[in-house]
Structures are given as structure tokens and as C-alpha cells.
Amino acid sequence: MYRSKFALIEFLIVSIMTMAAPAAVPGAEFGITAEAPGAAFTSREKPEFRLAVPEDFSGEWQLRDWDGALLKTGTATDPELVLAPLECGYYVLTVTGQNGQKSERSFAVVRDPADRNPGGPQPFALDAAVSWLGRPDPKNPFFKGEGFDTIIELARRAGCPLVRERLSWGETNPEPGVYRWKQYGSNAQKLAEKSVGISGMFHDSPKWTRTHSPKLPDDLAALHDYARTLSSTFKGRITDWEFWNEQDIGFAPEPAWDYAAALKAAALGFKAGDPDVPVLLGGIAFTPLANCNAVAMLNDAAAYIDIFNVHCYRPLTDFSDAVTNIRALMNRAGIAGMPLWITELGCLSEGSGRASSGVPGTKAHTPDQELLVAEYLVKSQLTLQALGVEKSFFFVLAPYNEIGGAKDWGLMRRDYTVKPGYAAYANLTDRLGAATFEGRYETGVPQVDALLYRMPDSTQTLVFWSRSEFETQGTVPGITTQNRFARVFTQKRIPPGARLFDLTGMERPLKRETTGGIQLTATRFPAYLTGLSGLKAKAVSPAVRPVRVDVSDMDRTIVAKATMLDGFSIARTKDSIDWEGDSGRMRIELYNFSDTKKRGRLRISGGRVEGVPAEVTIPARGRTEFILRFQPEVDQKSFAGQFELNGEFSGRRISRLHIPVLARHLMASGMTSVPFKNLMDPSNWRASSSGKLNISYDKQEQAVKFDVKFRPQTDRWIYPEYILQLPQESLKDAAGIAFEVKAEPAGAIKQMLAMFVNDLSNDRGKAVWLQVNPPDAKWQERVVSFHPEIPKPDKIRMLRIGFNLGKDHFTYYLRNFRILYNH
């Protein structure tokens, strides 16, 4: 559950621009090669295969559908096998030789792009990561050379309207004024030639743009110039630009106001190079949204974006709450009607790969796990659309593993052949890509969900499915598709031309009743009933009215950036600065991204300030800076305050630089402290870890000891759970908690989190995750404030305090737990 998010692996670039061919299937007795990219034929092609057998080979072949039903048989007498044209769907071809040797090849048949309707909303997209994941992998024995062309052609064949594509600033702009577009440029051109749109993004900065920041650029002028060059160079090929990726977690350790300043510079640059190109907020990694995202909005980030953007790796059970949580922040930011995209939508519910991939250090999906992903893909993209999400991008088209190689993500295998999820996606785009969503439809069976669509020809399509563990339980260890959850419902008054298609696009027979209706069997796999008319949605989809923040009175070209010098430290949560007790200094930089000189006055609120010039002049396309001294004024109950800089230039306001302040040094001493004694009993803690966890009491340290060991290729996390003993341990009216902690080896820590959970689900449950500054081998106090992340602490029923780690053995100690109150 607490998986770490890793950057996509960067492989060495080998300059081979031809489309490589897949080798034999891992474990096969002889190879069967499909004569189509990725083993995905179009509906206009005859499925052709080449058998790696002798010329005098004699054998038999069988063709089955994705569910194992036998469809056709025949005789194989030479290395070439050509089948008659097949309808859309996902198939398995089995060839058995005269001596009993056997091999299989799965393949897809998808609607030819020439026969698709390219219009309509086209809400279903893919994260393809072509230019990163298509690089040659020397460890992969099944596919040699570059995979760029195969991935691009598969996106085209699937009817994908838009792919998410990454590039590297450091790689393409290694020094000022030097641009090398490499495969990013050639792949963008190829995608454009195949009429596949590109959602572009980058989330790195070259060293020459950084002076003290670990990842975000410090030189905002360099960022603006690069963004402008990108959008002008790729104009007409890249249809929108997203700035950064998962800035709420480790991809940007810098605070929210730094990200907001960088976003402003990048957005202005993108618009300078291509005035009409939409700009996206960097994809937020986690829901519920951390407070650093709200702080970015308090810095007027919403005034610089056209599309709000979040990632989703949640179980289907959490989708409604997740979207509600996202919409709440958008509403507070004044952008309730702004389009919402999910630019990474990934399935974790099938678990780690249970099969060998044939590539050292990586696991693969079993056939059953591949079907689970296909189920999740369709249900998740449809459910998000029904919740008002404008576009979602399934993660990920290309082969890719994470979590030490255990998690298999791709809709393609390591031999570059497609999985059933690819066929399910191609069918989804074919059936509903051009359709208009009308709303939810009542089937009369509580466990059968259905959505109604209006097609371009004015007919209707009903997509329906039976709820499985995905909807009722969320993530279930060891889940399989064995239980299909078959449920029957009746649909009345069906037109004569109605047709039924399964998950992958294969037509299925309709059993008509004498009354003119039909009896339908819903399973966990979505199916499509087409050619309908006269149906009414029971819950109409809410209209999303595009909204832009009113910036008519704002000079957006002036951007302020702050650097802490002394007296303040940046909170691990990236949403505030910790005031260390006296006045502190900070450097303020003001950038002018316009072609005219700007002159104006600044206003700073939130405390006593010294060193602010009476008037500021910023040269055209230049910057100015000054150092100020600031002493915050904090609330005596919450010990919270703020630093806010704004101003007026030529009668127009500038965007805010807003930095929340928290006086943690006053919290533990200035608040009422109540001991949390029961946490010192190890029997009150419940083990929750991806490794073997031992919880004990250490008499010498007078602390609870947590010792964990992990197996190799494990996503290493440890978050033991303490269930509050209510009502006596209720956190009602609490302002936070405090405790002492030490750990070894400290170098193993990737992050420390305190989790506040609203239910008692082991390893799961609705929770707020708060970053905590990691300890070392000496005892240190930590104060975790509930403000403003946890407005209702009385709802908390369980605590987790733990770590994500990078080593196989780790020990930490906790003691001196207290609940903090303002009274």
C-alpha cells in the first residue's frame, strides 16, 4: 500500500532507429511471431504468424478467445500460418507439433484507425513514456534495439487520442543556449504523423540552473526560456504542457511556494512560445491532497494553469472520495469548473507480478493478473469520467517494472507483445471515445452498474458490469478472476439492430425474449450493448463549465521567489516554515518576464519586516533582489502565522508569495501536554509492514522498539498501527502529537510519515499522511501539528508512525508520546 514512487528508469541511448522484432515467448518450445507490431493486428489485416520450425513441420493449431473458448482449429504444415480475418478481440493461438511440442501466442485484433470516429470528447488516453521506456534495454533478451516505433504504432492502432510523453531538460539543454532534441524530437514528429496527440512534460533541471535547490531550478529566467523554446519548437505536435511531476512528494523536495514560483515562470514561457497551448498543473501524486497543494494555490498557482491535474493509483472503492477531495481544493481556489485530468491512472489491485518475466530482476503478470488489469482499466476510466474527470491517462503502455522489479505496469510484455488490457483499451476508445456521456443507468440489480452514452449517430450505448472485489473490497491480496460475479438483469424494448460486445470487442449473442426484451448476464468484465434508443439516465452527469481565474487586474509577468537564509527552516511537509524563535532573514527575488520595465510597491503582511525597499524597479526580462528580516506574528493557540508578499505595479496587483509559518518550538512547551502512556506497551501495536516486523520494549532505552527485516525486491515500508482506546484516548480538540524518536541506520530512511486513520482497516483505510523530519541515531523530539491538515481530529481512530526505507534491515525506537492541546 505504501509504495514508493520512483522516477522512470533512464536507459543508455543507442542510436538505432529501426523497429526491432520480438523474440520467442519466454518458456516456449518454439517461437511463434505475429507479423504485426506488438502482435496487434487491425481489423483490415489477416493475422499472419511465423513459426520457428523446420520446413517439414506438421502440426495442428487451435484458436481460443481470451476466456478460453475454442473458436477454430486447423493444420499447420509450414513455417507460415495465415488465418482468415477475425473480428476485434483478444485471442490465443496454440500450435502443437507431431512430436507433441507446443507453443502459444496471444494477440489482439483492434478496429483499424481508418474505420474509427476521431471526433467527440476522446476522454480515454494513455501514459506512453515513449522516449524513456522505448530505449534499448540490454538486459532484455526478448526485444533488441529501440522500441519507439513499436510503441508509437501501437498507440495509433489502439485509437489513442493523446499520449503522455516525458522529456529531460538536463538532457536536451545541457548548457545555456544548447539544445539537442534527440529521440524526443523524432518521436514527437512520428506521433504527429500518426495523428496521436502528445501531452508533454518534464521534471528535471540541469545543474547549471541550480544553486541550492536539489531538483527545482533556482534560475527562473532559464526555466522560462526553456519552456518558451519547448512550446515554440514543438508547436503543432505537443498539444499541452504539464509542469513537473508529483511535486507533492520526492520529485520536488522544495516547498510549495518554490514550486508555485517555478510553475508561474514555466507557464509564462509555454504561453510565450505558443499562446494557445493549455498548461497543466504538475500531476499531484496522492489523495487525500496534502496541504502543500493548498499552499501552492494560496500562491495564486491557479492563475497560471488551464487544467488541474492529479494522479490516481487508488482502488475503485476510493474514487468518489478522491474526486470529492480534489474538487474541494479546486473550489477553495476558485476553479471549481476548471477541467480535471488524471494524467497517471494505475492499477495496484492485482499485486506484484507472480510470474517470471525472463528478464533478470523483474517479475511479470500471470495471464489472470493481465485480465485483472484489463478489468480495472475499463472500470477506472469509465468511473472517473462519470465523476466528472475530463481525461484520464492509463499508466503505462510500454513495458515497465518498479518496486525492485516486482511490480509489472505495462500493457505490453517484455517481448513487446500486447496484453488483454491493450485490447480492452482499444475497444473502449472504439466504442465510447467519440460518445457523449449521458449519465448512470439503473439496471434494477444493485450490484450491476451501467453507464449510458449518446453516439455520434444518435443511437445509445450501454456499458455495464457486475461489481467485483474491486468495487466492494478495494485491494485484496492474492485476488483472481475465478469468481466472475455473474448477475442477470433484463433490458426491455431493445431495437432489432442492438448488438452486444465483450471486454475486448468480440461480439456475443443476444438472447431475445418474446416480449422484445433481452436477458443480459453482467460479469466483472465490462460489456457494451450498442444500437439502443429511448433510454433515460437515472443520474445525469454534472456539466463541467470551463473556468479560468479572473486575472484582468493581475500583472502575471512579475513573479516573486523566496530563499530562507537564517532563522527559519522548511518543514518536511513542504507547506510551511518553522520559525526558530527570533527574527529571520530571507532573500526575495522579483522576476519580470515582460518586454517592458516595471516599477511598483510591495506589501508584506504577517509580522514585523525590515529591509523592504520603498519602491521596486525590475528591468524588462530581468530580475532584482533584496534581503529582508522578518519576525512572524503567530496565533497563541495554533502557533501558526504567515508571511505574504504582494504588491501593485502600474495599478495592477501581482501574484502572491504566501508562506505559512509554524512555531513548533513553542508548541510542545506552550500547549497542554497529556501523556499517551498506552503507546509504550508493544502489545498495543499491530504489525503492518512489507517485511518481518518484531515489536518489543527496550528497557535500556525505555522505549518501544521496532525491528524489521525485508526480503530482496521488496518495496520496503514499515507503518505499525496503534488503535486508539476510545473514548479515553480521543483526539477531540487536540492540536497535535509529540514524541521522541531515533533510528539506525539513518541512511536507510527515504521518508518518515505519521498517519492518522479514520477506520481500523489493517494496512488500508482513509488516512491523512503527514511528513515528519527523519531522525538519526540520537534521540530527537518531533512535533506533528494537526493544523490545517486535520480539521476534525475527533474522527481519528488509529495512528501509524513509520518509514519508507532503502535497506533490508532497520530499527527505530519511540518514546515519550504526548497529545497536545491549545488549552
pLDDT of residue 19: 38
Instruction: Check whether 188 has a pLDDT greater than 60.
Output: yes
614-646 tens-digit pLDDT: 999 999 999 999 999 999 999 988 899 999 999
Cβ pair 402, 133 in contact under 8 A: no
Beta strands in 556-620 (DSSP E): 558-566, 568-570, 577-579, 584-592, 598-605, 607-610, 616-618
Q: d(Cα 94, Cα 443) in Å, to the nearest integer?
A: 39
Query: Read out DSSP for 658-712?
Result: EEEEE-HHHHHHHSEEEE-GGGG-GGGEE--BSSEEEEEEETTTTEEEEEEE--S
Instruction: Check whether 48 has a pLDDT greater than 80.
Output: yes
Q: Which residue has the higher pLDDT, 35 or 14?
A: 35
Q: What share of the chain has pLDDT > 70, as a percent?
A: 95
Q: Given pLDDT bands bounded at 50, 70 and 90, which one contains residue 542?
A: low
DSSP letter (8 states) at residue 178: B
Q: What per-residue string of b and e applies to 145-157 under the rule 16 or more CB within 10 Å gives b?
A: bbbbbbbbbbbbb
List 749's β-bridge partners, or say none: 805
Average pLDDT over residues 277-288: 96
pLDDT of residue 20: 41
Q: d(Cα 410, Cα 557) in Å, to the nearest integer?
A: 41
Instruction: Check whether 465 has a pLDDT greater than 80.
Output: yes
Q: Return the H-helix or E-strand segment holding 71.
A: strand 70-76
pLDDT of residue 132: 97
Only one residue has cell 508533454, namely 200
User: Whose CA is closest to 817, among 734, 749, 752?
Assistant: 734
Cβ neighbours for 71, distance < 8 A, ≥ 6 positions apart: 63, 64, 65, 91
Cα 104 from chain centre: 34
SS3 551: coil
**Residue 815, all three cell numbers:** 518514546
pLDDT of residue 59: 93
**Residue 616, all three cell numbers:** 521596486
List 609's β-bridge partners, or say none: 630
pLDDT of residue 543: 59
766, with CB counted inside 10 A (0-12, 13-18, 19+), is: middle
Radius of gyration of the chain, Cα coordinates, nearest whole angstrom: 28
Alpha helix (H) residue ranges in 194-309:
220-233, 256-273, 291-298
Average pLDDT over residues 186-196: 98
Only one residue has cell 502512556, namely 677
pTM of the full structure: 0.92
Amino acid, res. 613: P
Whether the CA torsion 7, 9, 10, 15 is positive or negative: it is negative
66-118 tens-digit pLDDT: 999 999 999 998 899 999 999 999 999 999 998 889 999 999 999 999 999 98
- 112-126, 237-251, 293-307, 540-554: the lowest-pLDDT one: 540-554
Helix axes 148-157, 182-193, angle to 10 degrees: 30
- 218-222, 362-366, 579-583, 604-608: the lowest-pLDDT one: 579-583
pLDDT of residue 22: 44
Cβ neighbours for 779, distance < 8 A, ≥ 6 positions apart: 740, 741, 742, 815
Instruction: Check whether 695 has a pLDDT greater than 70.
Output: yes
pLDDT of residue 501: 99
Q: What share of the chain has pLDDT > 90, as a percent?
A: 83
Instruction: Check whether 541 has a pLDDT greater than 80.
Output: no
Ramachandran class of 577: left when φ > 0, alpha when ψ lies in -120 to 50, beta otherwise? beta
378-409 tens-digit pLDDT: 999 999 999 999 999 999 999 999 988 999 99
Q: d(Cα 235, Cα 228) in Å, to the nearest integer?
A: 10
- CA of 451: how far to CAs of 270, 323, 463, 523, 532, in Å? 37, 18, 5, 15, 13
User: Whose CA is closest to 154, among 501, 419, 507, 434?
Assistant: 419
Average pLDDT over residues 535-541: 81
List 569's β-bridge partners, or say none: 578
Cβ pair 618, 592 in contact under 8 A: yes
Cβ pair 740, 782 in contact under 8 A: yes
Cβ pair 762, 688 in contact under 8 A: yes
Helix axes 367-386, 420-432, angle to 10 degrees: 30
- CA of 222: how far to CAs of 210, 265, 304, in Å? 10, 9, 18
Q: Return the H-helix or E-strand segment holding 428.
A: helix 420-432
Instruction: For the chain, report the end-to-end CA distance as a whole number of angstroms.
Output: 37
314-352 tens-digit pLDDT: 999 999 999 999 999 999 999 999 999 999 999 999 999
User: Whose CA is closest to 346, among 319, 373, 318?
Assistant: 373
pLDDT of residue 12: 23
Domains, the chain, with CATH or none: 32-110 (2.60.40.1930), 124-428 (3.20.20.80), 439-540 (2.60.40), 558-669 (2.60.40.10), 671-821 (2.60.120.260)
Cβ pair 259, 252 in contact under 8 A: yes
Only one residue has cell 513573479, namely 559
Average pLDDT over residues 256-280: 99
Q: Given pLDDT bands bounded at 50, 70 and 90, which one contains residue 3?
A: very low
Q: d(Cα 190, Cα 510) in Å, to the nearest integer?
A: 42
Average pLDDT over residues 538-542: 69
pLDDT of residue 558: 99
Average pLDDT over residues 659-684: 90
Helix axes 319-332, 291-298, angle to 10 degrees: 30
Cβ neighbours for 304, distance < 8 A, ≥ 6 positions apart: 263, 264, 267, 268, 279, 556, 655
Q: d(Cα 411, Cα 416) in Å, to the nearest integer?
A: 9
Instruction: Check whether 364 has a pLDDT greater than 90.
Output: yes
Q: Given pLDDT bands bounded at 50, 70 and 90, which one contains residue 791?
A: confident
Cβ neighbours for 69, distance < 8 A, ≥ 6 positions apart: none
474-491 tens-digit pLDDT: 888 899 999 999 999 999
Cβ pair 632, 615 in contact under 8 A: no
Query: Read out DSSP for 20-39?
Result: P-B-PPTT-SS-EEESSGGG
739-763 tens-digit pLDDT: 999 999 999 999 899 999 988 877 7
Average pLDDT over residues 558-585: 95
Q: d(Cα 496, Cα 474) in Å, to the nearest integer?
A: 39
Residue 770 main-chain phi, psi, to 5 deg: -120, 130
Cβ pair 139, 359 in contact under 8 A: yes
Q: Given pLDDT bands bounded at 50, 70 and 90, which one contains residue 578?
A: very high
136-156 tens-digit pLDDT: 999 999 999 999 999 999 999
